[in-house]
Amino acid sequence: MPWFGIINEYRNFLPVTHETPVITLHEGNTPLIKAVHFCARARLDLDLYFKFEGSNPTGSFKDRGMTLAISKAVESGAKAVICASTGNTSAAAAAYAARAGLKAIVIIPEGKIALGKLSQAIVHGAHVMQIDGNFDDALNIVKALISRYPITMVNSINPFRLEGQKTGAFEVCDQLMSVPRYHALPVGNAGNICAYWKGYKEYHTAGRTASVPVMLGFQAEGAAPIVRGKKIEQPETVATAIRIGNPASWQEALTVKEESGGRIDMVSDDEILSAYSLVASSEGIFCEPASAASLAGVIKLHKEGFFTPGDAVVCTLTGHGLKDPDTVFRVSKEPSRMAADLEVIEDVITRIV
Ligand code: F0G
């Protein structure tokens, strides 16, 4: 069956009517990939799967939420949308706004956005404002602006965003043809973990599945307000996508943890980078650093004896590594340089094969 995006595929579960204009780039239908080498390399005794959201049109899971948020904005007659972002939301907002013929305004922390994401917002024609502040400052500014101007906010506080993002959980169940025991995600503004939980619960209520998973969320140690139980004024992490000190869905994420019997924990930048390079080198999957927080978290909990051998665990890899190629050179060396000389090259080759 051809795929026309998540609204078309899951419309019975979404707040749309046949009058809602569907603004889509055919997002969703991302691969659920079974780990083949990662578990041995990371010493995990698990049935592990990667939900690779980097395969979405703008390279992150945000497209699932943005197709719905932008479609509903057009339905309501909006002319412009706005968001604060650590990069991926702005890339998706800019792309879907372009597709819809809407103006997009994005407010981002200067110098803390991966270059790929900044390029996306610019090339899609968004009005980009870089502020001398962090994501939390940007979000506060956006909240103040929407009460004064006729602009639709497309951050995850917009309920249509999470409605769209919950389709990630539907796909996992459809692809696995069952429900994983655990589902692990990185946590930044804490919207996506709530969206997945909503999706799993709705599929269960609709009789499509027999159970719901235990939800596991992972923050970066330098940006772990939920784990530490207090706002972080100056969040810091290599995983810039989740560099957030005061998540909008903080309380809701705690509810997900309680309802599902799950955990919200934190991982260090070293653990994140190690999982990031391991999944790339052992499985051929290039995700961005924030995405690897879910893997790093699973490795950490496994070491603590949290899992039963053979447990089915799905990790959402939220965004594509190509958005942030600079980080590669924090974990790997630049390729060696040599003369354009067959003998010199052969000398190296004989040591490899
Ligand atoms: N992974 C990536 C790649 C992200 O871009 C984000 C959030 C998250 C995980 C965390 O998801 O916020 O729902 O808990 N990025 C937002 C942005 C904040 O502006 O692009 P969350």
Q: What are 115-132's pLDDT values in tens digits?
A: 999 999 999 999 999 999
Q: Which residue puts its alpha carbon closest to atom 6 of ligand 1?
A: 241
Number of neighbouring beta carbons within 10 Å of residue 341: 9
239 has pLDDT over 90? yes
What proportion of the chain, given as a percentage, has pLDDT over 70? Answer: 100
107 within ligand 1 shell (Cβ under 6 A): no
| Tokens 């799993």, residue located | 200
Q: What's the whole-number mean pLDDT along residues 210-218?
A: 98
Q: What are 60-87's pLDDT values in tens digits?
A: 999 999 999 999 999 999 999 999 999 9
What proportion of the chain, given as a percentage, has pLDDT over 90? Answer: 99
120 within ligand 1 shell (Cβ under 6 A): no
> What pLDDT, on a 0 to 100 scale, did the predictor assign at position 119?
98
85 within ligand 1 shell (Cβ under 6 A): yes
299 has pLDDT over 90? yes
Q: What are 170-210's pLDDT values in tens digits?
A: 999 999 999 999 999 999 999 999 999 999 999 999 999 99
89 within ligand 1 shell (Cβ under 6 A): yes
164 within ligand 1 shell (Cβ under 6 A): no
1 has pLDDT over 90? no
In the reported structure, the alpha carbon of residue 240 is separated from the centroid of ligand 1 by a whole-number distance in angstroms of 9
The answer for residues whose C-beta is within 8 angstroms of residue 154's C-beta and 6 or more apart is 66, 69, 70, 73, 81, 82, 83, 89, 93, 161
In the reported structure, the alpha carbon of residue 318 is separated from the centroid of ligand 1 by a whole-number distance in angstroms of 8
Q: How far apart are CA 129 and CA 260, in angstroms?
A: 39
In the reported structure, the alpha carbon of residue 349 is separated from the centroid of ligand 1 by a whole-number distance in angstroms of 42
Q: Evaluate if pTM is beyond 0.95.
A: yes
Q: What are 152-167's pLDDT values in tens digits?
A: 999 999 999 999 999 9
